[in-house]
Amino acid sequence: MSIPHEQLVEAARLIREGRLVAFPTETVYGLGANALDAEAVYRIFEAKGRPPTSPLIVHVDTVEMARNLVTVWPEAAEKLAARFWPGPLTLVLPKAPAVPDVVTAGLATVGLRMPSHPVALELIRLAQTPIAAPSANRFTGLSPTLAEHVRASLGAFVDMVLDGGPTEVGIESTVLSLAGAPTLLRPGMITRGQLEEVIGPVESGARVENGAAHPSPGMHLRHYSPRTPLIVGAPPVQGEGVYLWVRAEHPAARAIHMPGEAAEYGEMLYRLLHELDGEGWDWIAIEPPPEDDAWAAIRDRMNRAKMQG
């Protein structure tokens, strides 16, 4: 879906003036503010109800802009940017002083990404500033893959919503730290195996102390959750619900056969969960996805979204 140029110009003006603009990326819709304006970034946290311990990803439109936001740009970053940018990969690197602490949860590192969506790239170019943007929804809720999801979740908190139609990837970006040994902080549709093809061994995970700042977004135990209780595994006996399956159908009031390819599954997952959330089911059950590398991001999102306890 194309967006009139005058709308993009107006959105860029709002960004420069410290306002909030929701815009499409190839992963999910982002809630954007001028990344170099601390007051504007605070508005993101207020709108989302996001804790200050969860850092934001900064979106850029060129490698040069990214390099200006960090103190070190290692060879690994150069190789990964050449291979995966623009695209759904966030690189965490030591931040430059110009990046406000509120963006990074007070940490000395910043996550950077060059999105591949043409609307996102043009917005950054017209605004002439990097844009900090988490997913455009209330904290811990389902990420938005349509503009209508943003409006339903954030409403009057957003000064403008750019409607670019459905997102293509549908799952948040892979986050890789290069501040030390390469470490995968959040799985995404660019897999660990793909990263290792470019830079060699990649470590997994990062320990987060209770109450401490997280090195990456998306590391809270509960996240990406629909309002309807979500179960990973066989459907419960009580109540009526929906079962999403790939390999083996189970009895349920409604059964939905999901794609067998991870990329297609990821593209439709959040959008489908948004739809089911509005249908009044007692529960949504999901067949556990395959264990291979291609499905790591989907497994991560399901485990954080599922009903706790």
pLDDT, tens digit, for every residue of 76-94?
999 999 999 999 999 999 9
pLDDT of residue 220: 75
pLDDT in tens, 216-265: 888 777 778 899 999 999 999 899 999 999 999 988 999 999 999 999 99
Find, among 127, 100, 96, the residue nearest to 41 by Cα.
100
Find, among 4, 209, 175, the residue nearest to 92 by Cα.
175
Task: Let me know: does 220 contact 119? Beta carbons within 8 Å.
Answer: no
pTM of the model: 0.96
What torsion do the CA atoms of 192, 178, 302, 87 make, to the nearest 10 degrees? -70
The owner of tokens 């809720």 is 141
Q: Chunked in runs of 10, what are the mean pLDDT values of the chain (309 residues)?
A: 91 98 98 98 97 96 98 98 98 98 97 98 98 96 96 95 97 97 97 98 79 82 87 93 94 95 97 96 96 96 82
CATH of the structural domain 5-204, one choice from 3.40.190.290, 3.90.870.10, 3.30.70.1140, 3.40.50.720: 3.90.870.10
Helix (H) and strand (E) counts for the chain? 9, 14
> Which regions of the chain carry the CATH code 3.90.870.10?
5-204
How far is it, in rounded angstroms, from Cα 162 to Cα 165? 9
Query: Can you spell out the DSSP letters for 193-251?
Result: HHHHHHHS--EE-----TTSPPSSTT-SSS-SB-SS-EEESSPPSSS-EEEEESS----
